[in-house]
Amino acid sequence: MRSVRAIVRAGFDRAEASLGRAFPPAWNPLLNLGALGFFFYWIVVGSGIYVYSFFDTGITQAYASIEYMTHEQWYLAGVMRSFHRYASDALVIVAVLHLLREFGRDRYRGVRWFSWVTGMVVLVLVFVAGITGYWLVWDELAQYVAIVTTEWFDALGIFGEPVARNFLAPSTLDSRFFTLMVFIHIAVPLIALVLLWVHLQRVAKPRINPPRGLALGSFVALLVLSLAHPAASRGPANLATVPDEVGLDWFYLAAYPLLETLPAPFTWATALFLAALALAIPWLPPMRMARPARIDLANCNGCSRCFADCPYNAITMVPRSDGAPFAAEARVDPSLCVRCGICAGACPTAIPFRRAHALSPGIDLPDLSIGFLRERVEAEGARLAGRGRVMVFGCGEGVPLEGLASERIGVVRLACSGQLPPSFVDYVLARDLADGVLVTGCAENACHARFGVAWTEARFARSRDPHLRQRVPPERLRTLWAGRLGRGALEAELRAFARSLEALPPVAPPRRVPGPRAPAEVHRA
Amino acid sequence: MPSPAQWAGQVLFYAVAAGVTGLFASWPSWSRLPPGQAQITIAFAHGGARKEACRKLTPEEIASLPAHERRPSDCRRERVPLRFELVLDDRPLLARTLPPSGLSRDGPSQLYEKLAVPSGRHTVTVRLADSGRASGFDYESRFELELRPRQNLAIDFEPDRGGFFVR
């Protein structure tokens, strides 16, 4: 499974990087798949409402009403019909890509199982809605879809008589069955919308709207496609004939030729196996995760910065329980915590300058603690020599850092770039552990923990707590958000940074040997 | 602000994405039935005779039953399987034994089958045994048909209409 994930991820990394040449990070379509899904969903709903106002639900009138829209009122209803179809296709495309991307980035296991499973159910509902939509046109394709679908369900043997008998001949056609399809086609997307809301319950500040530039581009692309290649019906359904070649919508109906030609027991077994696999995959194998973030109440003043910064709603603020003179305290829900450490990076007590006691911030990752990071910083700083020394802070999901350390480059790994309290930058420079600091991680707008890059930039820009101290010279701090393919860019950036640091005067405070202090609490990277 | 080259790249992306979406929304076409062929669809649901004849209960047996369950005879629910045959131009094309549906095997037997046949003039003979007899059939119909290419001929069965008929 790991190698499959690696292949998928490598493909997405390359595709994202390629699109990144044309799109700004905020507009990159592959970095906005979920938001694009919502965008196409709303287009489908809006165009569907318009089309439905002209749609005649009688089984003999349905085809004629759609033909009227397509040919008589092509300039509006016809375009709306095309929007309805192509946005549905685009919805499936972005939903499947979204699923694959999350799989490749291993963001479906552990505490993220919930989003995966609910997303799978939504995807099935999208297919149900799309397939019933083709049914309603009641052209030759609809006839094909209706017959293959009902034959497949009949193979279960749970119906009193074959449902496909409804489509045996024109005289057996039942309008009530058709009305049922209309109901399903409207009800299922509404159920999907409710499930989408559930799907997003475990993420904070979900992006459900694409950036304006991407939305505009997608809309115009759909409009051009609708005008250049309008959605059209085939000939009217006629149960007395077998439809000639049917132009399948392969985004929705790719399985139909298989359902038609392979034995039903095999296709049912395959479908059920794949469905079970899709639902069980977050536990195949179960994710071995580090311990979740932990509150140290003695150092928590209830400031709620961790609550504000957590990307996964894992932190809540609750009334104080220890009698300390603060209104609230943070509480971590381990079932939601992804161990990104962004909360520790937000904590005002995560300050490496503290010496009196063990460095134990109000909230911390037990297995990659702030105290341990300080030890690593000091160890790396003590190793560096010469001019143009750079301390690199990087996350495990961004630019690969293997083999980067050298006499002039120190490397400290973080769970996420957002785990780094800005005071560490000040600490490195004030203690003369390096001449400059470079923070690197995932590509912009592609943070593995969602907000690590954004919060880090905002903290460094002093627009989000905790602020970077004013005394940190900006020329001694750089960030590079390049993702896994950014090793070359990182090395180039490091060379340029080192040269610029060499041209600067030495860091003002002399190198100081740290005084004795209590050891850090946890010691595992 | 994106450069002109980046704008061009975006336009190219949207064009490719829209093109792929439009293309695979209706292409390539699919057809299972070869050219020149017609299709016979035979579909019905029909319950066979009871597997065991009803047995008249004796007055003592009736008296021993609770008042609300007293009935003159005892009938087992299970039905016999049907035997079905379709012969095309004196050539056997389909022969099926159709078990009754339901966990208690008391529901109607079902058949839904599509047969691709060459278009043209054909004689179709369909036979059904629903009484549990070991040989011979209870229903038999013979149809002289002229099938056009891609025609779907539906054969149904309803005892009240005399057996098999073409829809």
Q: Is A455 on the interface with B (CB under 8 A)?
A: no
How far apart (Å, rounded) are the C-alpha atoms in residues A433 and A384?
A: 8
Lowest mean pLDDT among A24-28, A225-229, A353-357, A386-390: A353-357
Contact B152 A239 (CB under 8 A): yes
Q: What is the DSSP string of B117-164?
A: EESEEEEEEEEEE-S--SSS-SEEEEEEEEEPTTBEEEEEEEGGGTEE
Tell me, what amino acid is at A57? T
Q: How much is the average pLDDT of A263-270?
A: 97
Q: How confident is the model at residue A519 (pLDDT cuts 50, 70, 90)?
A: very low
How far apart (Å, rounded) are the C-alpha atoms in residues A185 and A128?
A: 8
Instruction: Give the CA-trace dihedral at A288, A454, B17, A66, to 10 degrees.
Output: 90
How far apart (Å, rounded) are the C-alpha atoms in residues A329 and A307?
A: 10
Kindly report the CA angle at A363 between A286 and A419, in degrees rounded to 5?
70
Contact A169 B167 (CB under 8 A): yes
Quick one: B86 and B147 in the same domain? Answer: yes
Q: How confident is the model at residue A511 (pLDDT cuts 50, 70, 90)?
A: very low
Q: B91: distance to nearest CA of chain A, Å?
A: 23
Residue B40 is part of a domain; what is its CATH number? 2.60.40
Cβ atoms of B62 and B69 within 8 Å: the answer is no
Two structure tokens written together for B48: 């066979």
Q: Is B27 on the interface with A (CB under 8 A)?
A: yes
Residue B68 domain flag: no
Residue B126 domain flag: yes
Q: How much is the average pLDDT of A458-482?
A: 95
Q: How confident is the model at residue A161 (pLDDT cuts 50, 70, 90)?
A: confident
The structure tokens 């369909």 sit at B126
Quick one: B13 and B95 in the same domain? Answer: no
Using CB atoms within 10 Å of the CB of residue B94, give its burial: 0 to 12 exposed, 13 to 18 middle, 19+ buried.
middle
Q: B164: distance to nearest CA of chain A, Å?
A: 14
Q: In what order do the strands lie in the sheet with B152-158?
A: B109-118, B37-46, B152-158, B163-166
Provide φ and ψ at A193, rounded to 5°.
-65, -40
Cβ atoms of B100 and B50 within 8 Å: the answer is no
Quick one: B137 and B106 in the same domain? Answer: yes
The structure tokens 């699919």 sit at B30
What percent of chain A is modeled with pLDDT above 70?
96
Cβ atoms of A122 and A192 within 8 Å: the answer is yes
Q: Is A519 on the interface with B (CB under 8 A)?
A: no
Cβ atoms of A329 and A300 within 8 Å: the answer is yes
Which of A159, A166, A225, A256 should we substitute to test contact with B (largest number of B Cβ atoms within 10 Å)?
A225
Q: Is B119 on the interface with A (CB under 8 A)?
A: no
Q: Which of B8, B32, B45 sits opposite A160 (nearest CB)?
A: B45
How far apart (Å, rounded) are the C-alpha atoms in residues A130 and A252?
A: 7
Q: What is the mean pLDDT of chain A?
A: 92
Cβ atoms of A90 and B21 within 8 Å: the answer is yes
CB neighbourhood size of A170 (10 A): 13
Kindly report the CA angle at A134 between A264 and B149, in degrees rounded to 5?
70
Cβ atoms of B49 and B80 within 8 Å: the answer is yes
Q: How much is the average pLDDT of A374-391?
A: 94
pLDDT in the model for residue A525: 33
pLDDT in the model for residue A373: 96
Q: Which of A171, A228, A245 sits opposite B29 (nearest CB)?
A: A245
Q: Which of B21, B27, B167 sits opposite A86 (nearest CB)?
A: B21
Two structure tokens written together for A289: 């995760």
Using CB atoms within 10 Å of the CB of residue B30, give its burial: 0 to 12 exposed, 13 to 18 middle, 19+ buried.
middle
Q: How confident is the model at residue A508 (pLDDT cuts 50, 70, 90)?
A: low
Number of cross-chain residue pairs from A and B with Cβ atoms under 8 Å apart: 129
Nearest CA among A264, A213, A246, A297 for reference residue A35: A213
Residue A215: closest CA among chain B residues belongs to which residue?
A: B14
How far apart (Å, rounded) are the C-alpha atoms in residues A246 and A449?
A: 45
pLDDT in the model for residue B2: 83
Quick one: B106 and B42 in the same domain? Answer: yes
Q: Is A39 on the interface with B (CB under 8 A)?
A: no
Tell me, what amino acid is at A363? I
Q: Is the pLDDT of residue A521 over 50?
A: no
**Residues written for chain A:** 525
Residue B1 domain flag: yes
Chain A residues in contact with B79 by the CB 8 A cut-off are none
- Each domain of chain A, given as residue ranges in start order, spans 2-8+52-283, 294-502
Domain count, chain B: 2
Contact B25 A86 (CB under 8 A): yes
Quick one: B6 and B40 in the same domain? Answer: no
Residue B161 domain flag: yes
Q: Is B161 on the interface with A (CB under 8 A)?
A: no
Q: How much is the average pLDDT of A60-83?
A: 93
pLDDT in the model for residue A172: 80
Q: Which of A229, A246, A250 sits opposite B31 (nearest CB)?
A: A246
Q: How confident is the model at residue A509 (pLDDT cuts 50, 70, 90)?
A: low
Q: Which of A161, A164, A217 sits opposite B108 (nearest CB)?
A: A161
Nearest CA among A480, A457, A478 for reference residue A467: A457
pLDDT in the model for residue A402: 93
Q: What is the DSSP string of A296-365?
A: -GGG-----HHHHH-TTS-EEEEE-SS--SSSEEEEE-TTT-----HHHHH-TT--TT--SS----SEE-
Q: Which of B9, B21, B28 sits opposite A21 (nearest CB)?
A: B9
Kindly report the CA angle at B16 between A211 and A221, in degrees rounded to 5?
45
Q: A398: distance to nearest CA of chain B, Å?
A: 24
Contact B45 A161 (CB under 8 A): yes
How far apart (Å, rounded) are the C-alpha atoms in residues A255 and A258?
A: 5
Q: Which helix (H) or strand (E) holds A153?
A: helix A140-154
Residue B101 domain flag: yes
Q: Is the pLDDT of residue A524 over 60?
A: no
How far apart (Å, rounded) are the C-alpha atoms in residues B154 and B151?
A: 10
Give chain B's residues under pLDDT 70.
none
Tell me, what amino acid is at B135? S
Half-sphere exposure (Cβ direction) of B89: Cα atoms closer than 13 Å:
9
Q: Which helix (H) or strand (E) holds B41?
A: strand B37-46
pTM of the model: 0.90
The structure tokens 């985004």 sit at A251
Q: Which of A21, A86, A261 sits opposite B22 (nearest CB)?
A: A86
Provide φ and ψ at A509, rounded to 5°.
-75, 140
Quick one: B9 and B41 in the same domain? Answer: no
Which of A31, A172, A225, A242 should we substitute to test contact with B (largest number of B Cβ atoms within 10 Å)?
A242
| Range of the structural domain that residue B25 is part of | 1-30
DSSP state of A163: G
For residue range B106-130, list pLDDT tens digits in order. Answer: 899 999 999 999 999 999 999 999 9
Q: Choose the most confident range, by mean pLDDT, from A57-71, A90-104, B48-62.
A: A90-104
CB neighbourhood size of A403 (10 A): 8
Two structure tokens written together for A204: 């904070």
Two structure tokens written together for B123: 């004689």
For residue range A220-261, list pLDDT tens digits in order. Answer: 999 999 999 999 999 999 999 998 889 999 999 999 999 999
Whole-Å CA distances, B105 to A157, A159, B74, B98, B112: 12, 14, 17, 11, 18
Two structure tokens written together for A280: 């069980």
Whole-Å CA distances, A167 to A143, A292, A343: 8, 57, 60
pLDDT in the model for residue A418: 97
Q: Is A22 on the interface with B (CB under 8 A)?
A: yes
pLDDT in the model for residue A514: 53
Quick one: B21 and B41 in the same domain? Answer: no
Quick one: B112 and B147 in the same domain? Answer: yes
Q: Is A271 on the interface with B (CB under 8 A)?
A: no
Inter-residue long-range contacts of A67-74, CB under 8 Å, 24+ positions, other chains counted: A67/A233, A70/A230, A70/A231, A70/A232, A70/A233, A74/A230
Quick one: B129 and B139 in the same domain? Answer: yes
Contact B45 A165 (CB under 8 A): yes
Q: At B12, is the secondary structure helix, strand, or coil? A: helix
Cβ atoms of A311 and A300 within 8 Å: the answer is no
Domain A2-8+52-283: which CATH number of 1.20.810.10, 3.40.1000.10, 3.40.50.2000, 3.30.70.2740: 1.20.810.10
Lowest mean pLDDT among A166-175, A230-239, A257-266, A498-507: A166-175
Cβ atoms of B70 and B85 within 8 Å: the answer is no
Residue B74 domain flag: no
Residue B136 domain flag: yes
Lowest mean pLDDT among A222-226, A254-258, A308-312, A503-507: A503-507
pLDDT in the model for residue A250: 97
Q: At A126, is the secondary structure helix, strand, or coil? A: helix
Q: Is B150 on the interface with A (CB under 8 A)?
A: yes
Q: Which of A27, A172, A229 sits opposite B167 (nearest CB)?
A: A172
How far apart (Å, rounded) are the C-alpha atoms in residues B124 and B40?
A: 10
Q: Which helix (H) or strand (E) holds B29?
A: strand B29-30
Q: How much is the average pLDDT of A337-354?
A: 94
pLDDT in the model for residue A286: 86
Quick one: B117 and B104 in the same domain? Answer: yes
Quick one: B41 and B100 in the same domain? Answer: yes
Q: Is the pLDDT of residue A213 over 70?
A: yes
Quick one: B102 and B43 in the same domain? Answer: yes
Two structure tokens written together for A422: 């800005």
DSSP state of B58: P
